[in-house]
């Protein structure tokens, strides 16, 4: 392996640059803010668990499917957890982990550096895995905090509303916008991942 390849391997994870350059850090900040704003929009409180249903997963899923696992995981976790600090502080740390994993696995499975040209089976699989991480992650947290009845009650809303809306929005986004955004901004995406 040449010295250049060694340097690239050190600076990337699966072809996605680690958050060491200003472009990647800026995109993480912008999409964490977008996810936070989406989470703040119309939060529907669930009295049984003190949690709430929101639109934040739209931001998490789109970010992962557009930028890959590093930006998706960091922006999804940070943006969602920031909102929880204000709306439901007990969930802030679990949200950082759950939404971070959701964004990470969506980005890893969808792998937009290779598969951004059209919607494909990897996008659907990524959405299903990411959404399941969110639903089951919160189920286990709520099971510990509020018992089985509260956990089951909220998981119905997390699965049917939050996951359903986010999945639909992400599929529409990937069908209509992803290819054009990545194709028309190569100077930015060259700093986020190595095209393949």
| Maximum Cα–Cα distance across the chain | 58
Taking the C-alpha atoms of residue 84 and residue 62, their distance in angstroms, rounded to an integer, is: 20
Would you say residue 169 has pLDDT above 70? Answer: yes
Angle between helix axes 56-67 and 121-157 (nearest 10 degrees) is: 160
> What percentage of residues in the chain have a pLDDT greater than 70?
95
| Segment 50-62, tens digit of pLDDT | 788 899 999 999 9
Would you say residue 6 has pLDDT above 60? Answer: no
| Segment 133-153, tens digit of pLDDT | 999 999 999 999 989 988 888
Could you tell me how far CA 71 lies from the centroid of its own chain? 8
pLDDT at position 43 is 84
Q: What is the mean pLDDT of residues 74-86?
A: 97
Q: Quote the Cα angle for 111-114-115, to 5°.
A: 70
- Choose the weakest-confidence range: 1-15, 130-144, 164-178: 1-15
| Reported confidence tier of residue 5, pLDDT bands at 50, 70, 90 | very low
Taking the C-alpha atoms of residue 29 and residue 35, their distance in angstroms, rounded to an integer, is: 10
Average pLDDT, the chain: 92
pLDDT at position 3 is 45
| Segment 112-129, tens digit of pLDDT | 999 999 999 999 999 999
pLDDT at position 18 is 94
Nearest one of 53, 29, 68, 24 to 142, comparing CA atoms: 53
**What sign has the CA pseudo-torsion 30, 129, 190, 58?**
negative
Q: Please give the backbone phi and psi of residue 16, each rounded to the nearest 5 degrees, phi first.
A: -105, 130
| Segment 181-191, tens digit of pLDDT | 999 999 999 99
Instruction: Check if CATH label 3.40.50.620 holds for domain 20-189.
Output: no
Instruction: Domain ranges for the chain, please list them.
Output: 20-189
Q: Which long-range contacts (CB under 8 A, 24 or more apart) does 157-162 make?
A: 157/44, 157/46, 157/53, 158/53, 158/134, 159/131, 159/135, 161/44, 161/53, 162/53, 162/54, 162/55, 162/57, 162/134
Nearest one of 49, 38, 79 to 166, comparing CA atoms: 38
| Segment 22-51, tens digit of pLDDT | 999 999 999 999 999 999 998 888 887 878
């Amino acid at each position: 392996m040449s010295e250049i390849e060694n340097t690239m391997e050190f600076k990337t994870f699966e072809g996605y640059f680690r958050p060491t350059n200003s472009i990647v850090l800026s995109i993480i900040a912008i999409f964490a803010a977008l996810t936070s704003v989406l989470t703040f929009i119309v939060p529907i409180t669930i009295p049984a668990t003190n949690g709430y249903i929101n639109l934040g997963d739209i931001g998490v899923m789109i970010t992962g499917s557009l930028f890959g696992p590093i930006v998706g995981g960091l922006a999804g976790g940070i943006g969602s957890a920031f909102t929880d600090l204000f709306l439901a502080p007990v969930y802030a740390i679990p949200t950082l982990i759950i939404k971070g994993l959701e964004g990470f696995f969506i980005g890893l499975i969808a792998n937009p550096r290779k598969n951004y040209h059209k919607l494909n089976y990897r996008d659907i699989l990524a959405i299903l895995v990411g959404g399941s991480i969110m639903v089951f992650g919160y189920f286990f947290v709520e099971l510990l905090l509020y018992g089985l009845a509260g956990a089951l009650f909220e998981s119905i809303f997390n699965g049917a509303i939050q996951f359903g809306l986010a999945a639909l929005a992400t599929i529409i986004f990937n069908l209509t916008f992803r290819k054009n955004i990545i194709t028309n901004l190569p100077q930015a995406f060259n700093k986020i991942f190595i095209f393949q």
